[in-house]
Amino acid sequence: MESKKDEIIITCSEGFLGLSAMLLLLWKQEWLILLFLCLLSAAFFLHRRLDRQKISRELSSLSDLLELILQGKPLLYHNGNQETLFDKINTQLVRIDEIHRANEARLKKEQDSTKQLLAELSHQLRTPLANMETYLALAEEEDVSPNERKTYLKSVEHAEQKIKFLAERYVLAARMENRLIQIHKFPQDMKQTAAEAIFQVYKRAEKKQIYIEMKEKESLNPMISHDRNWLCEAIYNLLDNSIKYSPDGSRVQVVLDDNDMFTEICVEDEGVGIEPGEENRIFQLYYRGSRIAGQEGYGMGMFISRQIVAAHDGFMRVKRKEQGLKGSIFLPKAGT
């Protein structure tokens, strides 16, 4: 009986100890949880404070970038990983600054071009206007003969035509420089386009006894997509230079050729030509070759031709010869 009581007492004791241990464990876990929550709260508030400091620094940096833009100073790309909002905004501000600077440079170039155009036009118009004034004054004199008056009036008419020509060419050059022309391409016979350009210069060539010959290669396919009016103008400018700067009794050849990719219109003369290194410079607006500096001209024809050909997605090339110059227009064939 006593042994049985001892077993009961031992069992109760073990149960009490187990319950005590369990309560102690729970008590410790609550403190651990409480401690964990405290640490978590501290980390959260610290993180928020660091975030505020970071945001403040980034906003300050963006403010500095905006101030640089306002002062007109260039921006530099931020060496970030392009993953944060700050890095993206920084990149966007730099791009906006680059676009703004490019637009300013383009506007300044256009303004400089306009100033140069007006200055050149004023310079070129001065002579014909002075001639008109002089000849009109002479024609109005009482003692002038009818024949003399007729001569003076013809000179006035010539000066007027020159002014009209100059105004049209300068307006055309300005439109070309600002890419304001409209090109309407469709398949047409290139031989007819070249023939129209030759017809426009035929009278002046005849006065100088310059023989113009048009040839075509046997393999030529003359049907090519182009704007006849504008391309005729480009070919005319090549022919005009050839006749203007070639000696009397010489020859000008217009050769039409093609290959798998391009159709070539070549104008070859026996004129004064150009100096080495001028192959690209003669396409600049108002540039005139050193060999023709003393002759009449305005330095616009080759520039206009190149702009017209570029609007046809083609290109131009000139080649010096021992006697004369070879100027070529290359137009892409359909599908190239």
The predicted structure's pLDDT at residue 267? 95
User: Rounded to the nearest 5 degrees, what angle is found at the Cα of 33, between the Cα atoms of 28 and 39?
Assistant: 125
Q: What is the CATH number of the domain that holds 227?
A: 3.30.565.10
Judge if 195 and 308 occupy the same domain.
Answer: yes
Judge if 170 and 190 occupy the same domain.
Answer: no
Judge if 166 and 250 occupy the same domain.
Answer: no
Please return the burial class of 136, using the count of CB atoms within 10 Å of its CB with bins 0-12, 13-18 and 19+. Answer: middle
Judge if 191 and 311 occupy the same domain.
Answer: yes
Please give the residue range of the domain that contains residue 138: 113-177
Judge if 203 and 165 occupy the same domain.
Answer: no
Judge if 143 and 210 occupy the same domain.
Answer: no
Judge if 190 and 293 occupy the same domain.
Answer: yes
Last residue of a domain, one of 177, 197, 214: 177
The predicted structure's pLDDT at residue 63? 72
Residue 291 counted as domain residue: yes
The predicted structure's pLDDT at residue 268? 94
Judge if 150 and 282 occupy the same domain.
Answer: no
Write the CA distances from 246 to 1, 14, 56, 164, integer angstroms: 147, 128, 75, 25
> 213 pairs with which residues across the strands?
253
CB atoms within 10 A of CB 1: 4
| Euclidean distance between CA atoms 154 and 132, whole angstroms | 10
The predicted structure's pLDDT at residue 19? 43
Q: In what order do the strands lie in the sheet with 315-320?
A: 211-216, 251-258, 262-268, 325-332, 315-320
The predicted structure's pLDDT at residue 250? 93
Residue 95 counted as domain residue: no
Residue 122 counted as domain residue: yes
Residue 37 counted as domain residue: no
Judge if 139 and 255 occupy the same domain.
Answer: no
Judge if 198 and 161 occupy the same domain.
Answer: no
Judge if 201 and 257 occupy the same domain.
Answer: yes
| Euclidean distance between CA atoms 332 and 312, whole angstroms | 8
Residue 280 counted as domain residue: yes
Residue 215 counted as domain residue: yes
* Count of domains forming the chain: 2
> 111 pairs with which residues across the strands?
none
Judge if 209 and 309 occupy the same domain.
Answer: yes
Residue 19 counted as domain residue: no
The predicted structure's pLDDT at residue 15? 46
HEC string of the chain equals CHHHHHHHHHHHHHHHHHHHHHHHHHHHHHHHHHHHHHHHHHHHHHHHHHHHHHHHHHHHHHHHHHHHHHCCCCCCCCCCCCCCHHHHHHHHHHHHHHHHHHHHHHHHHHHHHHHHHHHHHHHHHHHHHHHHHHHHHHHCCCCCCHHHHHHHHHHHHHHHHHHHHHHHHHHHHHHHHCCCCCCCCEEEEHHHHHHHHHHHHHHHHHHCCCEEEEEECCCCCCEEEECHHHHHHHHHHHHHHHHHCCCCCCEEEEEEEECCCEEEEEEECCCCCCCCCCCCHHHCCCCCCHHHCCCCCCCCHHHHHHHHHHHCCCEEEEEECCCCEEEEEEEECCCC
Both tokens of 220, joined, read: 């030529």
Divide the 336 residues of the chain into consecutive groups of 10 and give the mean pLDDT of each group. 46 46 49 53 60 68 70 65 67 76 78 68 73 82 82 82 75 70 87 92 91 88 89 92 92 91 92 87 81 73 89 92 91 75
Residue with tokens 């520039």: 303
Q: What is the CATH number of the domain that holds 125?
A: 1.10.287
**Whole-structure pTM over 0.85, yes or no?**
no
Residue 8 counted as domain residue: no
